[in-house]
Amino acid sequence: MAIDLTGRTAIVTGAASGIGRSVAVRLAAAGASVVIADRTPLPWHGGPSTEHLVTAAGGTAEFMACDLAVTSSVEAMFARAEARWGHVDIVVNNAAVSTGTSLTDTDDADWNHVLAVNVTGVFTLCRAAVRHMLDRPPRGEVRGRIVNITSQHGMVAAPEDIAYGVSKAAVAQLTRQIAVEYAAQGIVCNAVAPGKIETGPSARAEDPRWHEYWTSRTPWPRLGRPEDVAGAVLFLASDEASYITGVNLMVDGGWMAG
């Protein structure tokens, strides 16, 4: 399946690192001009910036600083992207944070920050994108496409991570709300729910207790890679995905089927 996104502009949040970085590389390789919307240009797990990766491979990408916890920062980033390319066709809401804490260990500041980034940030960018897309002529049946990254941990309890789990459930519902409310105007809104995806060394990744949990829950004989998620996002961001809206597509090695 050769997907061609030439002439399209895509914003990918959290694209400096991990899954978002892989999504940005994949969309750019398909011909899209990609905005790397992140707090920082450099990946936390090391390596060159995503902008460098994309441009070195002959693609088009530009880092635009953005803090999803701040509404004005999200709106300014969107306006910059619109001014730079004249239109925004694809938005991938990928960035998210977590505290790794249970209910009784989560203080107000942590709760509010997770909800601000993972839910309000997604809401703000979706609102800016849909307002913009509604003013655009349709390409075939579609005025614009949104792909939100959720998690299996928004469908079942996120162990020791209450704010994260609640935030991901909210994004799944946000996806359905937008899909249904704007289908008639040609806005497509879907989600991708990764299972456990290995992105780099972290406290949980190095803890045998968590590794055992992930592998025991994952039927496929390996954990996920960022490219696994990027392939699904590329599909949903493209015209190959027709008559599909409001879904929360699992890329989890079978976790939620078990």
Ligand X SMILES: NC(=O)c1ccc[n+]([C@@H]2O[C@H](COP(=O)([O-])OP(=O)(O)OC[C@H]3O[C@@H](n4cnc5c(N)ncnc54)[C@H](O)[C@@H]3O)[C@@H](O)[C@H]2O)c1
Rounded to 5°, the CA angle 234-93-53 comes to: 60
Q: Which residue is nearest to ligand X (CB)?
A: 18
Smallest separation, CB 150 to ligand X (Å): 7
Smallest separation, CB 20 to ligand X (Å): 6
Residue number with CB closer to ligand X (38 or 51): 38
Q: Is 137 helix (H, G, I), strand (E, B) or coil?
A: coil
Residue number with CB closer to ligand X (96 or 169): 96
Question: Which residue among the candidates 164, 182, 213, 243 is catalytic per the annotation?
Answer: 164
- Which residues lie below 8 Å from residue 71, measured CB to CB, with a gap of 6+? 120, 124
Residue number with CB closer to ligand X (9 or 124): 124
d(CA 107, CA 122): 22
Cross-strand bridge partners of residue 258 = none
Smallest separation, CB 233 to ligand X (Å): 10
Estimate the crossing angle of helix 71-85 against helix 121-134, to 10 degrees: 30
Q: Is 197 helix (H, G, I), strand (E, B) or coil?
A: strand
User: 58: buried, middle or exposed (CB in 10 Å: 19+, 13-18, 0-12)?
Assistant: exposed
Residue with tokens 């800016």: 128
Q: Which residues bind ligand X (CB under 6 A)?
A: 13-14, 16-20, 38-40, 66-69, 94-97, 117, 149, 151, 194, 196-197, 199
d(CA 92, CA 95): 9
d(CA 105, CA 215): 26
Q: Is residue 126 within a helix (H) or strand (E), and if so which, with residue range?
A: helix 121-134
Residue number with CB closer to ligand X (29 or 97): 97
Residue number with CB closer to ligand X (138 or 201): 201
Based on the residue annotation, tell me whether 164 is a catalytic residue of this protein.
yes
Smallest separation, CB 17 to ligand X (Å): 3
Smallest separation, CB 2 to ligand X (Å): 26
Residues with catalytic annotation?
Answer: 164
